[in-house]
Amino acid sequence: MVKPLYDNRLAINIGGLKMNTPVTTASGTFGFGLEFQDFLDLEKVGAVTVKGTTLEPRSGNKGQRAVETPAGMLNCVGLENPGSDYFLQETLPKLKKIAVPIIVNIAGNSPEEYGKLAKKLDVDGVDAIEINISCPNVKQGGLAFGTCPDSAVEVVKAVKANTSKFVITKLSPNVTDIVEIALAVENAGSDAVSLINTVLGMKIDIARQQPVLGNVMGGLSGPAIRPVAVRMVYQVAQAVHIPIIGMGGIMCAADAIEFFLAGASAIAVGTGNFSDPRLAETISKGILEYMDAHGIKNIQEIIGKALPNR
């Protein structure tokens, strides 16, 4: 049962996924949520989105995995996680005690693997599945599922066929046309989309004259990518009819409000959690202050307000 912890003007219902506040956490930046309990009351976020989970444990990439950039960070962690069995046996029982929706981000090497994982996680305590389609597709020579509409559709269909949960597809920005991918996964049955994932980038150590990251390239996140994320949410919102969860460099309430105006129904805080572990709660309070200042009675009033003909 979700507790009414905030002013009900912030309450949001996206396709049956009910949240007291439209501010959740981005996968990969919040662990399993439990790691933040010393800093933040987890029941004061809209939902907890756990780190990428795979069928089997993964040790991640070798070498340096993260480096700070002038307006964010690069990472190539490689989906390090203890695997689905550990999550179900050790982590989920603890998460079930928290009165907020739990969203599990999943990753796989093939549509079949995504389907198996979705079926395994179709249990009490898991409220939604977020499909990470920015993973290498080993059957297609390393091409990421998220860059090919047909591959993305295969994954979404495999997940939908194996779960009764709300399904969110997380979109990659490393594409020519993100709207094409969004429409493809919507037509395949995705209940919502979240965007954007990290932007591919790299850093070179000029003293060593070599790439800094062990994987050479990694995902850029933080304020540097926010204008790109807002633009993509704005474009996708004009094309799809399913809810959008916006993310990418959100560091304060003003940043979050940009995403709502661009068409997002909810937002996720990612890299900002590292600099301020209470940021998700702080942003919710800031949104209420904005609403008070502008005479807004419900968060729904500003969703998509900056879109043409709205």
The DSSP element (H or E) to which 49 belongs, if any, is strand 48-53
Which residues does 164 contact at the CB level (< 8 Å), separation at least 6?
122
Amino acid residing at 159: V
Q: Name residue, tokens 């599990």.
A: 104
Where do the H-state alpha helices sit in the chain? 84-86, 92-95, 111-120, 149-160, 178-187, 226-237, 253-262, 272-275, 279-293
Residue with tokens 């979050």: 256
CA distance 244 to 183: 12
76, 135, 148, 252: the active-site residue: 135
Report the C-alpha gap between 221 and 199 in whole angstroms. Answer: 7
Strand partners, 193: 169, 244
What distance in Å separates the CA atoms of residue 303 and residue 310, rounded to the nearest whole number? 10
Cα pseudo-dihedral 23, 279, 51, 133, rounded to 10: 50
CB 22 within 8 A of CB 12: yes
Q: Is 135 a catalytic residue?
A: yes
d(CA 216, CA 137): 19
Which residues are known catalytic residues? Answer: 135
